[in-house]
Structure 1
Amino acid sequence: MEKRLTFNGAVKRDPAIAAWFAERPGTLGSIAHSWFSHIRGCGDDVLELLHDGYPTACVQDLPFAYVGAFTRHVNVGFFMGAFLPDPLRLLEGTGKRMRHVKLRPGAEVDADALVELIHAAYRDVREYVAAVRLETAGR
């Protein structure tokens, strides 16, 4: 099983993330906050931290999604996005693993498809955590 990127310090609710959203009160901040709320709502085991300046969601120490607000758009990103089912081709990026969905104010996005990407990323990280647990138990 391929080893994945891990982060230390994820907590249930990181005050740094609340501060991050407070610094972005406009439309882009609202869009980012709304989508991060969807990510947080995936399960009781979702933890969070600020990584590279962006709100990032984890299960245990494994990140699965993040949001970023930029000058004219918001990214909803996925650490293993290259492996997610994306029939509507919402995901952008050419990296080995990471992909993102770019959201612009006033531009429509298939919200159901983006929610499904979020849930797929969450299911993927939970399956990975379970597989690691089984592998470790078998040693």
Structure 2
Amino acid sequence: MNDLLRFPSAVRRDPRIEAWFSDFADPFRLMTRAWFERMRGCGADVRELLHDGCPVACVGNAPFGYVNAFNAHASVGFYYGAMLADPVGLLVGDGKRMRHVKLRPSKELDDEALGDLIAAACRDIRQRLGLV
């Protein structure tokens, strides 16, 4: 599809992402690592890059998810999150397409539901690409 966002510089493993995660003084970055690993584990066609200062996961060169860290929380985001089913209501945001899940140390998270969102976002981008 021609209207999909594309990142032609996406690669199998971007060393800048490991550098991003190596900031051990930032607890919010550490909170996102396992979720980005989940994105990486979605298949052999998953590529990645550092875009706008945060790790992004793509199928080929089409992004489906990202993680980021802020002063008071971390987030796991989805490029087409507004189109994803979210039965437990984890997603926040009011943009046309993007949504994210806020991670806070003091807030309990439904790990299974977030894992399901990651898998769904990857399936969704594959469908948009006509791969399934």
**1:112 and 2:83 equivalent?**
no
CA-CA distance at 1:90 after TM superposition = 0.5
* Paired letter, 1:59: V
Q: Give the RMSD, CA atoms, in angstroms.
A: 1.6
Name structure 2 gaps, 5 residues minimum. Answer: none
Tell me how many residue pairs correspond in the alignment. 132
Residue 23 of structure 1: how far off its partner (Å):
2.2
| Structure 1 residue 55 corresponds to structure 2 residue 55 | yes
> Considering only CA atoms, is the larger Rg found in Structure 1 or Structure 2?
1
**What percentage of residue pairs aligned between the two structures are identical?**
53
1-10 vs 108-117, greater mean Cα deviation:
1-10
Residue 102 (structure 1) aligns with? 102
* Separation in 2, partners of 1:77, 1:24: 21
Per the alignment, residue 69 of structure 2 pairs with: 69
Structure 1 stretches (4+) deviating beyond 6 angstroms?
none
Which residue identity is paired with 1:109? L
Q: Distance in 2 between matches of 1:91 and 1:7?
A: 24
> 2:127: which partner in 1?
127
With CA pairs under 8 Å and 6+ residues apart, which has the higher RCO, 1 or 2? Answer: 2
Q: Is the deviation greater in 74-83 or in 31-40?
A: 31-40
Q: 1:30 to 1:61 in 2, by over 3 A?
A: same
**1 or 2, which has the higher helix percentage?**
1
